[in-house]
Amino acid sequence: MLLVREIVVILFIKNIANCEKPFKSVPVIVKSYENDTVLLPCYLEGAESKLRVRWYKDSTLLGDSEDAHHHLPPRVRMHANYSLQVDTLGSEDTADYTCEVVRPEPWGPIRQTHSIEVQYSPTVRTIPEDGFLEVRKGEFVDIGCETTGTPEPIVDWRKNGEPMALLDHRSRIKFRAEHRLLAGVYECTANNGVGSPIRAAIRVVIHDAPVVTAERTFVHTAVGLRAALIAKVEFAIPPARISWYRDGRPVNTDERVLIIAQENVHQLIFRSVRMTDLGNYTFRAENKLGMADISFKLTGIPNTPSFKVDPALNKATSTSFTLIWEVDSYSTIIEYILWLRQYHGRHVNTEPDSFTTAPTANFWSKIVVPGDSRDGPIHSAIYVVRGLTPSTVYEAIVTARNRFGWSKQSAVLHFATEPGVGEIKPATIDDTDITPYLEDLEPETYNVSQAQIFEFIDDSKGTGTHETPYLPGMLSFTLIIIIFSSS
Ligand SMILES: *[C@@H]1O[C@H](CO)[C@@H](O)[C@H](O)[C@H]1NC(C)=O
Ligand SMILES: *[C@@H]1O[C@H](CO)[C@@H](O)[C@H](O)[C@H]1NC(C)=O
Ligand SMILES: *[C@@H]1O[C@H](CO)[C@@H](O)[C@H](O)[C@H]1NC(C)=O
Ligand SMILES: *[C@@H]1O[C@H](CO)[C@@H](O)[C@H](O)[C@H]1NC(C)=O
């Protein structure tokens, strides 16, 4: 007696062309599991007489009914009704099985083909096998997840937990390690609907020269204060050697000048700055693939001044405008220089071509504004520019000087004067009532050194109103300095 333990049969009309009329059985695809038994039919319509039947596995002859089981391999049997039974299925049994009925002359043989698919849950083997790949920047990365399983598993990838936008379900991923950010954990998932999906991961490590950053490279200080130069090593594989230099020589440390490292943050600390500490410093991180430098300037010069935009304080008339600015300096501000000129840029006119027509003289005027006598650190000034032209847009830049030197230039402030008395505002130009705004450009792009300069130095030291000498083509200015000091 035959015990057919479990037969999982899923019937499909596999191939109509194969299903010739005389067959009573229909072609089937049997999806089954390991160790199961499968029975494949081979019945002819109204066949009572004895037939001669051969079974083939793919194109290999398995057995012949006239040849009494002679060719049948282990685990395979042909029954008296010509059904083929395969026991204890294994992966090697996945194949097409063809039953061939040999008929007497003049008829040729007829055939019917079935399939067995022994289903296996997926397995994954990573490439490289240990799931770890280390390359130098620029080298080739070749990783993969080789899968087994029937049906063939579908492979999906994630990098550092995020799904990767690949166009197909490839098992191999190959790329050039062009950038350190390509490093990470590449995880594959293999799924074929049989059992649970299988995951595996490959960690890719890319060696590269260090990357260092600093939030502040221009460090403003004063004698007697504590100051710190801070650099961050964002990346270093292999680990970097760290050093601080001053003028090309390693910084000498003692109980006043310290080097501190916490995780990837490196500090050069001056507990109490001396005059001789001011200067240029370099932080260097170096490994065998390269080095990264960051230059610092420990300086007493003022920070970059900035104009304040405040509608309540930026008072405009037809001929004057009130400017306000602020600067950080630990030392007394000796003077400011305010650069001013009419603005003929893209904002002046809404007519597309109008500003190209008038290359009018557009020189910077230089106004020296006395500083204050406070120690700061925050110094503020208010200055009323007078003698301006009504309905005109101007731009301004300010720099500050203390005993250590000149600050960098501020961002550019744009402002406009009001229309004159009885003047009708030009309908097409309404930019003249623009609210003041600060331009986002690097002020260095304004080549002040190249601009023609009209100089006027106010020597009244900021006391009250001052009559300015007449300068041809120049504005006259009235100076009011108001000094604030915080702390
Ligand atoms: C099939 O039989 C073998 C041998 O007894 C056993 O190792 C294997 O786990 C079985 N497979 C399944 C899916 O039960
Ligand atoms: C063919 O014979 C086998 C074994 O005796 C039996 O299990 C199977 O049901 C038979 N098929 C038909 C259609 O009679
Ligand atoms: C510091 O570096 C700047 C350029 O960044 C250079 O102009 C200046 O002379 C240097 N100062 C010293 C003290 O070397
Ligand atoms: C600024 O002017 C100087 C002197 O004429 C010139 O050498 C330099 O190239 C100019 N810089 C820019 C950014 O135009």
Ligand approaching nearest to the C-alpha of 442: 4
Q: According to the per-residue pLDDT averaged within each range, which of 22-31, 319-328, 337-346 is highest?
A: 319-328
Give the ligand 4 atom nearest the CA of 444.
13
- The tokens of 289 are what? 């693939």
Q: Is the pLDDT of residue 187 over 80?
A: yes
Residue 25 in contact with ligand 2 by CB distance below 6 A = no
**pLDDT at residue 291, rounded to an integer:** 93
Cis ω for the linkage preceding 22 (within 30 of 0): no
Over pLDDT 90: what percentage of the chain? 55
Per the model's pLDDT, the better-predicted residue between 378 and 423 turns out to be 378
Give the ligand 2 atom nearest the CA of 80.
2
Residue 194 in contact with ligand 1 by CB distance below 6 A = no
**pLDDT at residue 40, rounded to an integer:** 95
* d(C-alpha 84, C-alpha 67), whole Å: 15
Q: Is the pLDDT of residue 425 over 90?
A: no
Cβ neighbors of 270 (< 8 A, separation 6 or more) are 221, 226, 227, 228, 256, 257, 277, 298
Give the ligand 3 atom nearest the CA of 247.
14
Look up tokens 């006395």; give the residue.
370
Q: According to the per-residue pLDDT averaged within each range, which of 142-146, 246-250, 452-456 is highest?
A: 142-146
Q: Is the pLDDT of residue 64 over 80?
A: yes
- For the chain, the average pLDDT equals 80
Q: Is the pLDDT of residue 7 over 80?
A: no
Q: Answer for the pair 391, 421: CB distance below 8 angstroms, yes or no.
A: no
* d(C-alpha 209, C-alpha 261), whole Å: 19
* d(C-alpha 199, C-alpha 157), whole Å: 10
**pLDDT at residue 234, rounded to an integer:** 93
- In a 13 Å sphere around the CA of 214, the CA atoms on its Cβ side amount to 22
**pLDDT at residue 245, rounded to an integer:** 96
The Å distance, Cα 406 to ligand 4 centre, comes to 19
**pLDDT at residue 125, rounded to an integer:** 96
Residue 279 in contact with ligand 3 by CB distance below 6 A = yes
- The tokens of 264 are what? 């990837």
284-294 per-position pLDDT tens digit: 999 999 999 99
The Å distance, Cα 82 to ligand 2 centre, comes to 8
Look up tokens 């990346």; give the residue.
235
Mutation to probe ligand 4, out of 442, 446, 450 (largest number of atoms < 8 A from CB): 450
- In a 13 Å sphere around the CA of 156, the CA atoms on its Cβ side amount to 11
**pLDDT at residue 461, rounded to an integer:** 38
**pLDDT at residue 77, rounded to an integer:** 92
Least trusted range by pLDDT, from 146-155, 365-374, 416-425: 416-425
Confidence of residue 305 (pLDDT cuts 50, 70, 90): very high
Q: Is 210 helix (H, G, I), strand (E, B) or coil?
A: strand
What does the DSSP assignment read for 411-465?
PPEEEEPPPPTTPPPPSS--GGGPPPEE--S-GGGS-TTTS--EEEE--STT-S-
Residue 134, strand partner residues: 205
Confidence of residue 176 (pLDDT cuts 50, 70, 90): very high
Residue nearest to atom 7 of ligand 2 (CA): 2
104-134 per-position pLDDT tens digit: 778 888 999 999 999 999 999 999 999 999 9
Residue 35 in contact with ligand 1 by CB distance below 6 A = yes
